[in-house]
Amino acid sequence: MIKQIVKKFLSNYGYTLRKIKKKDHDLNFDEILVKYLPNNPVIFDIGANKGQSIEKFLKIFKNPQIHSFEPIKDEIDILKKKYKDNKNIYLNDFALGEKNELKNFNITAKSDNSSFNKINLDTDWVKVRSGQNNTNVKNYVEKIEKVKVITLDEYVKSQKIEDIDLVKMDTQGYEDKILEGSIETIKKNKISIIKTEIMFDDNYNKYLNFIDIEKYIIPYNFRIVGIDMVHDNMFSGLVFSGDVMYFNKNKIKF
């Protein structure tokens, strides 16, 4: 009844009420992935942490094959117990980077803030995070451990992986190094979609710009298709970062 009244009112002014199809809406990132990837995608989950992305991918895809990478032992041990019966989830207790090496990793009280990059201790962000995790700024980095790092190229070669539907990176400012170690896989046109976090703020001793990511992928047919920002400038919140999605134009038709 209300719909009919609204339609009649709008018609008096020369307008027509019609339902907007879902495809006409701005899709969120999960909806984009579901629309453009198969139900059984091969996914690289780089920076698995507590398995947040694994849970999401299992919900939105019917039968994904997920290769997860997480160097924090406590976190990966929990994931191995949780997913021990899922043969489509490959849990790797090392990091990806620009070369094969052992490297110092800063493990923080809130483990998803852990990074190869050092944290700037004089920021409001670390003060707030310290309070939220019942510690102080000085002790927010709980320990520094040597962790194994290999390249994505090495992993793809050793596992005989032919195609990767999605590379998801959330590694606190180390994304450019991961792409540097992925260049042969990128050149061979094996990756369809890259979804990466880009941190623009000063919470770590290194921040990224778009060029730091795009110099590795734009020459090889990738195009930016979406940006999901956390705040839109450096002065409006504790975090100035965003998730950015790129399509390989040779692999994804849109």
Q: Which domains does the chain have, with CATH numbers?
A: 40-248 (3.40.50.150)
Residue 11 has pLDDT above 90, yes or no: no
Residue 4 pLDDT level (bands cut at 50, 70, 90)? low
Q: How far is CA 33 from CA 44, 167, 194, in A?
A: 14, 11, 11
pLDDT value of residue 23? 57
| Average pLDDT of the residues in 44-53 | 97
pLDDT value of residue 21? 46
Burial class for 217, CB neighbours closer than 10 Å (0-12, 13-18, 19+):
buried
Q: What is the DSSP letter of 220?
A: G
Asked if residue 116 lies in contact with residue 103, where contact means CB atoms within 8 angstroms, the answer is yes
Residue 237 has pLDDT above 90, yes or no: no
Residue (of 173, 170, 161, 169) closest to 201 by Cα position? 173
| Average pLDDT of the residues in 83-97 | 97
pLDDT value of residue 46? 98
Asked if residue 243 lies in contact with residue 200, where contact means CB atoms within 8 angstroms, the answer is no
| Average pLDDT of the residues in 167-193 | 98
Residue 59 pLDDT level (bands cut at 50, 70, 90)? very high
Question: In percent, how much of the chain has pLDDT > 90?
Answer: 86
Phi, psi for residue 161 in degrees, rounded to 5: -90, 125
Phi, psi for residue 9 in degrees, rounded to 5: -60, -45
Residue 15 pLDDT level (bands cut at 50, 70, 90)? very low
pLDDT value of residue 194? 98
Rounded-to-integer distance, Cα 28 and Cα 51, Å? 20
Residue 231 pLDDT level (bands cut at 50, 70, 90)? confident
Q: What is the mean pLDDT of the chain?
A: 92
Query: What's the token pair of residue 34?
Result: 């579901």
Asked if residue 106 lies in contact with residue 114, where contact means CB atoms within 8 angstroms, the answer is yes
Question: In percent, how much of the chain has pLDDT > 70?
Answer: 90
At 181, which helix (H) or strand (E)?
none
Number of other residues whose CB lies within 10 A of the CB of residue 25: 9
